[in-house]
Amino acid sequence: MDPPSLHQFKEIYLFMSNKVVLTTKAIEFFQRWMEKMSKMMKRVSLLTFLLFFIVSGVVIANNKYKGFNIVNVIVNGVTIKSDVPGINLDGRTLVPLRVISESLGAEVNWDDKSSTAKVVLSDQDGVRKKLTEANAKVHELNEKLSNSEKKFTELMADFAKNDLGKIEQEGNERSQPGPTWGSIKRDYYIIHYPQGYEKDAQKMRTNLDTAIAATLKEYQGFNLDNFFKNIADINVFISQTANRWASTGTWTILVWGNYHTDLHLLAQSAHAFPCCTNTGEEFNDSYFLKTTIHETFTLPHMYIVGSKKEGWNNVHSVPGWWGQGADDYFGHKYTPNSKALSFHKNRVIKDNLKTIHFSTTGITVANDYEDGIVLIGFLYETYGKEKFQKVLTSKEKTFEAAFLKEYGSYENLQKPFEAWLNKK
C-alpha cells in the first residue's frame, strides 16, 4: 500500500506559526491508516514513527542533523527533547509520534500481530475523580469561610451595640459615646474615645488646641474665644473601627442648630494603611494636625458669615472651591513643614491649568479641595488676608457681589494667577 497522499492527510494538517500541534483527530486518523496497512503488509519494521504536518509559518531551526533542518517541537508551551529530532524535509515537518503522544499524557504501544501503533490516552476517569474531590474540598472551605464571616458580622454588630454608642445624627439627635468610653473635657471641646485609645485622644487634644489657637490668631477681633467657649459646643468622637462618618482618610463634621458640632474621625492607631493622602503623604501626625485645623476652621467661617445682621449670611452659598479651599489652605498654613500647597501648585502647572478655568461668569475647578487650596493660596498671598476677610464680612447681598467688589472680574484674575504660579 502506498503512503497516504497529501489529499488523504488534509484532515490532520494544522496550519500554525512556530508550533507543531498534535490533535486527537490526527491520532485517530493515523490509527485507521495503520489498520489498513496491516491487512496488506505482513511485517513492518518499527523505526521511529513520524507524523507529517504542514506548517504555514516559520519553524525554529537550531542546527543541521545529517543534512536535514532540525526543528523544535513545542507541546503546550514546552519544548520537547528527544533522541530523534523533528526535521524539515521538502517543506514538510516530520516529528516523532511517541515523544509527542507521551508529552500529551498518552501511551504508545506496538502490536506485532496486527503491526499497529496504538495511542491510548491517560485515565480520564481518575482525573475526573480527583477534580471532583478537589471541587468538594473547595465547596467545604467556602462554607466555612461564609460561616466565619457571618459570625464576625454578628460579633461586630454586638460590639457596636454595646460599646460604640450611637455614631449617627438623625434630625437633632446628637451622637453619643459608648457606655465604656472615656472622655477629655476642655474649655472649648470634649473628646470621646473607646477603651485603649487614650493616646489617640491625647494627640487629638494637642491638635485641637493648636487648631483653635490658629483660628484665634487668624481672626483677631472677631471674638472667637467666646464663640468656642460658649457657643460652638464641640464633641469629638474617635472611633476604633470604620463607620458611616469615619474611615481611613475620611473625617466628618456635623454642624446644626446653634453651632452644635460633632466631629468624627478614625483613630490614628486604627488606620490599617499608613499611606497615602492625595498629596502622597502618610496618615501621620502631620496629616492629623492639618486635617484637624481644616475641620476646625469650618466653624469660625460659618460663624463670621452667619452672625452678620446685614449682607449675605449663608456660608453654604459659596462655591465649593472657596469653602473647602479656604479650610484646606489654613490647614496647610498652620501645619509645620506642610507641602500641600506646593504639591498642588506643581500639579496645576503640570496639567497646563486644565483643572482651573477663569471666565466672565466665574471660576470652575475639577476638584474643590485640590484646586481650591491653590486658588485660595493665590488670593491670600497675592491680595492679602484683609480682602479675604472683607468678603466674609461684606454687606453685599450675595457672595458673588462681595467677591467681585474685592477682587474685580473673574477673567482678569487669570494673568495674576499664572504669574503667581510661576513665581519662584
Q: Is 139 within the bounds of a domain?
A: yes
How far apart, in whole angstroms, are the C-alpha atoms of residue 281 and residue 342?
A: 13
Half-sphere exposure of 327 (CA within 13 A, CB side): 23
Listed range (18-27, 46-55, 323-332) with the worst mean pLDDT: 46-55
Same domain, 144 and 96: no
At 198 the pLDDT is 97
User: If you average pLDDT over every residue of the chain, what do you get?
Assistant: 78
How far apart, in whole angstroms, are the C-alpha atoms of residue 234 and residue 229?
A: 9
Task: State the total domains in the chain.
Answer: 4
Looking at residue 274, which CATH number applies to its domain?
A: 3.40.30
Same domain, 298 and 183: yes
Give tens-digit pLDDT for 342-353. 999 999 999 888
Average pLDDT over residues 357-385: 95
At 5 the pLDDT is 43
How far apart, in whole angstroms, are the C-alpha atoms of residue 371 and residue 367?
A: 6
141, 164, 187 - which closes a domain: 164
Q: Is 53 within the bounds of a domain?
A: yes
Q: Are 326 and 378 in contact (CB under 8 A)?
A: no
Give tens-digit pLDDT for 19-28. 344 444 444 5
Give tens-digit pLDDT for 192-213. 999 999 999 999 999 999 999 9
Listed range (61-65, 290-294, 317-321, 341-345) with the worst mean pLDDT: 61-65
Q: Is 3 within the bounds of a domain?
A: no
Buried b (16+ CB within 10 A) or exposed e, 96-131: bbbbbbbbbebebeeeeeebebebeeeeeeeeeeee
Same domain, 148 and 69: no
307, 332, 358 - which closes a domain: 307
Q: Is 285 within the bounds of a domain?
A: yes
At 220 the pLDDT is 94
Can you give the residue range of the structural domain that contains 253?
166-307
Same domain, 66 and 151: no
At 321 the pLDDT is 96
> How is residue 221 annotated by DSSP?
T
Average pLDDT over residues 267-290: 85
Give tens-digit pLDDT for 158-191. 444 444 444 444 344 568 888 899 999 999 999 9
Same domain, 323 and 301: no
Same domain, 127 and 178: no
Average pLDDT over residues 386-392: 96
Buried b (16+ CB within 10 A) or exposed e, 312-350: beebeebbebbbbbbbbbbbbbbbeebebbebbbeebee
Same domain, 192 and 144: no
Average pLDDT over residues 299-304: 94
88, 122, 156 - which closes a domain: 122
Q: Is 1 within the bounds of a domain?
A: no
Neighbouring-strand partners of residue 111: 116
At 134 the pLDDT is 67
Same domain, 231 and 195: yes
Q: Is 240 within the bounds of a domain?
A: yes
Give tens-digit pLDDT for 116-164. 777 776 555 565 566 577 667 767 777 776 666 666 555 554 444 444 4
Same domain, 173 and 109: no
Same domain, 81 and 133: no
Same domain, 330 and 367: yes
- Dihedral angle computed from the Cα positions of residues 5, 8, 12 and 16, in that order, rounded to the nearest 10 degrees: 60
Same domain, 332 and 403: yes
| DSSP string for 258-296 | TTEEEEEEE-GGG-S--B--TTS-BSSHHHHHHHHHHHH
Q: Are 369 and 324 in contact (CB under 8 A)?
A: yes
Q: Are 215 and 294 in contact (CB under 8 A)?
A: no
Listed range (132-136, 149-153, 313-317, 401-405) with the worst mean pLDDT: 149-153
Query: With 90 as the cut, is the pLDDT of residue 401 above it?
Result: yes
Q: Is 378 within the bounds of a domain?
A: yes
At 149 the pLDDT is 60
Report how far Cα 123 is from the mean position of its chain's Cα atoms: 45
Q: Is 364 within the bounds of a domain?
A: yes
